[in-house]
Amino acid sequence: MKNYEDLNVLELDTIREIGSIGTGNAATALSSMLGCEVRIDMPEVRIMGYNEAIDWIGGPEVITAGVLVHMSGELNGIMLSVQQMEFVNLVLQRMVGRTVQEYEQLDDLDRSALVEVGNIMISTFINALSSLAEITTRLTVPAFAVDMQGAILTVPMAEFGGQSDYIMTIGANFICAGKAVPCQLLLSPDIRSLNFLLKKLGVLDE
Amino acid sequence: MNDKLVVGIADMKMARQNGMLVTYALGSCIGICLYDPLIQLAALVHIMLPLNMETGRKSPLKYADTGICETLRRMEAQGGSRTRIVAKIAGGARMFETPGGGNLGNIGQRNIESTHMVLRREGIRLLREDVGGTVARTLLFDAASGQACVRSYGKPELIF
């Protein structure tokens, strides 16, 4: 069993490719939902220590919205859509025709729009990944939270904390209607599933 | 405001007589403040999981059981005394309500229970706590007074 930090270049490239296909599909879904052009920048695979990951996402105390889905079946893990204010407003403007200044102003309809956008992007990503690797993955109902992003990011960390001191994230930023909008889509598989996935794709160097 | 000593995840820092210890964005994690009032020795440890079941035990501060024991040991090395050390804790929230999401939602609750149990076992008196719920917390701990302060999103600051 390979831990996150033991992966070689080929394995990391494969994961990056998965990330690219997944986020590409998610971007297409987002584009048709919002009715605007959506591009993605270079997808990244990062293997980070806990505190490094929190710095990378932009500091612990910044308030963001997060949509979280649990995966089970042949692939176990967590997928998270971290939605910062700019992205929230982009979605709200296009879907419900209003914007907010603060997260407190989000009403039920706004929240439901954000959950749906997150859920559809996550499901599209996982569907693309599942058909690529010919595996079946079940997803839970999406959960939504608005809070400090440090605490949101510790959810996948705590989930796999017993296995590793690192967290692996696969994700990309979205560029909507020509404007760079930070919206990280993060996939954190557990270590066993990651090994299974790489094996299934024929690149695991045992 | 004097300089703050930042305690990361699975990390612990100590301060004596003055200084402010801070740990940011406790979700299901727990921040444990341990304080020896006589010599004004303060320690803040940020744990993530309830029990250490690692074989190598490389990172004791990640877990409630080994984290508390290791912190007490280091405090004693600095002249702290177990009979005087008191505790205040914060954290253990449930960030996401996930129906059928495995043990994910329970990590916070398990952390709280494990922390209580370990403190009781080590004979450390728990003075105050702000645990559970669904909000993230930032915990500040002042070495001069032994006072802790919890900051969360959309709520007034809580000093205890």
SS3 content of chain B, % helix, strand, coil (to 5): 20, 35, 40
Residue B98: list chain A partners with CB under 8 A.
68, 70, 140-141, 143
SS3 content of chain A, % helix, strand, coil (to 5): 50, 25, 25
Amino acid B105: pLDDT: 54
Residue A206 pLDDT > 80, yes or no?
Answer: no
Residue B155 pLDDT > 90, yes or no?
Answer: no
**How far is residue A119's CA from residue A123's CA, in Å, rounded to a whole number?**
6
Residue A163: list chain B partners with CB under 8 A.
none
According to the per-residue pLDDT averaged within each range, which of A33-42, A47-56, A188-197, B24-33 is highest?
B24-33
Share of chain A above pLDDT 70, in %: 100
| Contact at CB, A70 and B98, closer than 8 angstroms | yes
Q: What is the mean pLDDT of chain A?
A: 89
A144-165 mean pLDDT:
88
| Phi (first) and psi of residue A60, to 5 degrees | -70, -35
A65-69 mean pLDDT:
94
Residues B49 and B107 sit within 8 Å (Cβ to Cβ): yes
Q: How many CB pairs under 8 A join A and B?
A: 104
Q: How far is B39 from chain A (nearest CA, A)?
A: 31
A124-131 mean pLDDT:
93
pLDDT 10s digits, A85-123: 989 999 999 999 999 999 999 999 999 999 999 999 999
CATH, domain range B4-159:
3.30.1330.200
Residue A150: list chain B partners with CB under 8 A.
24-25, 27, 136
Tokens 């406790």 — which residue? B26
Residue B116 pLDDT > 80, yes or no?
Answer: yes
The confidence band for A46, taking pLDDT boundaries of 50, 70 and 90, is confident
Q: Nearest CB to A165: which of B59, B101, B107?
A: B59
A158-178 mean pLDDT:
82
Query: What count of Cα atoms within 13 Å lies in the side-chain half-sphere of residue B105?
Result: 15
Segment among A178-182, B41-45, B91-95 with least mean pLDDT? A178-182
Q: Is B69 considered catalytic here?
A: no
Residue B61 pLDDT > 70, yes or no?
Answer: yes
Q: Nearest CB to A143: which of B24, B27, B96?
A: B96
The confidence band for A176, taking pLDDT boundaries of 50, 70 and 90, is confident
| Contact at CB, B59 and A70, closer than 8 angstroms | no
Amino acid A63: pLDDT: 92
- State the DSSP code for B3: P
Residues B33 and B71 sit within 8 Å (Cβ to Cβ): no
Amino acid B99: pLDDT: 63
| Phi (first) and psi of residue A58, to 5 degrees | 120, 30
- State the DSSP code for B130: E
Q: Is B97 on the interface with A (CB under 8 A)?
A: yes
| Contact at CB, A158 and B24, closer than 8 angstroms | no
Cα A130-A134-A135 angle, rounded to 5 deg: 60
Q: What is the DSSP code string of A14-36?
A: HHHHHHHHHHHHHHHHHHHHHTS
Cα A42 to Cα A82, A126, A189, distances in angstroms: 17, 19, 20
The token duo for B65 is: 């059981």
**How far is residue B50's CA from residue A170's CA, in Å, rounded to a whole number?**
27
A143-159 mean pLDDT:
91
The confidence band for B100, taking pLDDT boundaries of 50, 70 and 90, is low
Q: Select from A156, A125, A128, A129 the least CA-distant residue to A143.
A: A156
Domains of chain A with CATH codes: 4-200 (3.40.1550.10)
Burial of A136 by CB count in 10 Å (0-12 exposed, 13-18 middle, 19+ buried)? exposed
A40-65 mean pLDDT:
88
B131-140 mean pLDDT:
93
E-only strand ranges, A61-202 = 63-73, 77-83, 137-139, 143-148, 166-171, 174-176, 179-181, 183-189
Q: How far is B137 from chain A (nearest CA, A)?
A: 8
Residues A177 and A36 sit within 8 Å (Cβ to Cβ): yes
Share of chain B above pLDDT 90, in %: 77
The confidence band for B92, taking pLDDT boundaries of 50, 70 and 90, is very high
Residues of A with CB under 8 A from a CB of B: 50-51, 54, 60-61, 63, 66, 68, 70, 72, 78, 104, 140-141, 143-152, 154-155, 157-159, 161-162, 165
Residues 6+ apart with CB under 8 A from B142: B20, B21, B42, B148, B149
| Contact at CB, A165 and B58, closer than 8 angstroms | yes
Of the residues B46, B98, B134, B140, the best mutation for testing chain A's interface (the one with the most A CB atoms within 10 Å of its CB) is B98
Share of chain A above pLDDT 90, in %: 42
Residues A160 and A154 sit within 8 Å (Cβ to Cβ): no
Q: Nearest CB to B27: which of A104, A140, A155?
A: A155
Q: Select from A5, A18, A23, A16 the least CA-distant residue to A175.
A: A23
Residue B47 pLDDT > 90, yes or no?
Answer: yes
Task: Looking at B7-156, list the stretches that DSSP marks H as alpha helix, in order from N- to C-terminal side.
Answer: 64-77, 107-121
Residues B36 and B85 sit within 8 Å (Cβ to Cβ): yes
Residue B13 pLDDT > 90, yes or no?
Answer: yes
Amino acid B1: pLDDT: 47
Identify the residue with better confidence: A204 or A125: A125
B18-46 mean pLDDT:
95
A41-59 mean pLDDT:
87
